A and B are shown apart, each in its own frame.
Chain A
Amino acid sequence: DAKTTQPTSMDCAEGRAANLPCNHSTISGNEYVYWYRQIHSQGPQYIIHGLKNNETNEMASLIITEDRKSSTLILPHATLRDTAVYYCIVRVAGRGSTLGRLYFGRGTQLTVWP
């Protein structure tokens, strides 16, 4: 079962920053926060992940609160092609039968307007 809570939908003007929140109040110390996005009728695409430090890559930045109970994905300059459903996921590192699974919630539908 998904362990995260996200808003159902958000809008953003093209060229502006899109800030997507995620609550994961029951996160454990060894659980990472992952973000994926899914453009309509395609497979999800990995964006970024982190444990407790803020992370940045060529796609986005991930800000994790000090208590790790929430995080924000930031797309610094949203484009029309960033319109997608964004999923926030928490998962435990590992491989065994009870670890390493990826559980997706319903995500946030981000719509970028021209």
Chain B
Amino acid sequence: SQTIHQWPATLVQPVGSPLSLECTVEGTSNPNLYWYRQAAGRGLQLLFYSVGIGQISSEVPQNLSASRPQDRQFILSSKKLLLSDSGFYLCAWRRYLGAGMNTEAFFGQGTRLTVV
């Protein structure tokens, strides 16, 4: 069966420090991968989207970057955190079955980041 791992669960970082959140998926290959952020009381905002190794699409201009060094590994990074980067970060994957085929997305348990 497929599983998604996201860590750490919680993180408190000072302003200006770097960030690295990691997400890995097991039990599948060539998944679509996503990073979302949820600010307090808000919906989920899509940050990055990847269809393959080294292929990253950015949804909004921001202080963050993403990388996909391996097929089932998705990393969210920042060189210098801002207060506004605080939020709940979620990684998700979706199986790609072919053009026009629809599948659901599966989410990790999230990382709650507090920038102080």
Chain A residues within CB distance 8 Å of chain B: 2, 30, 32, 34, 36, 38, 41-46, 49, 87, 93-97, 100-107
* B44 interface hit (Cβ, 8 Å): yes
Q: Which residues of B contact A46 (CB under 8 A)?
A: 104-106
* Least CB distance, B109 to chain A, in whole angstroms: 5
Known contacts A43-B92, A46-B104: A102-B43 contact under CB 8 Å: no
Cα of A97 to Cα of B102 in the assembled complex, Å: 16
Surface stretch bound by A, among B13-21, B73-81, B93-101 = B93-101
Q: Is the CB of B90 within 8 A of A43?
A: yes
Q: Which residues of B contact A87 (CB under 8 A)?
A: 43-44
* Least CB distance, A52 to chain B, in whole angstroms: 13
* Least CB distance, B11 to chain A, in whole angstroms: 14
Question: What 9 A-B pairs are tightest by C-beta distance, nearest first?
Answer: A43-B107, A104-B44, A46-B104, A106-B43, A93-B100, A104-B43, A44-B107, A93-B102, A97-B57
Q: Is the CB of B49 within 8 A of A43?
A: no
Q: Is the CB of B92 within 8 A of A102?
A: yes
Q: Is the CB of B44 within 8 A of A42?
A: no
Q: Is the CB of B42 within 8 A of A106?
A: yes
Known contacts A41-B110, A43-B110: A97-B105 contact under CB 8 Å: no
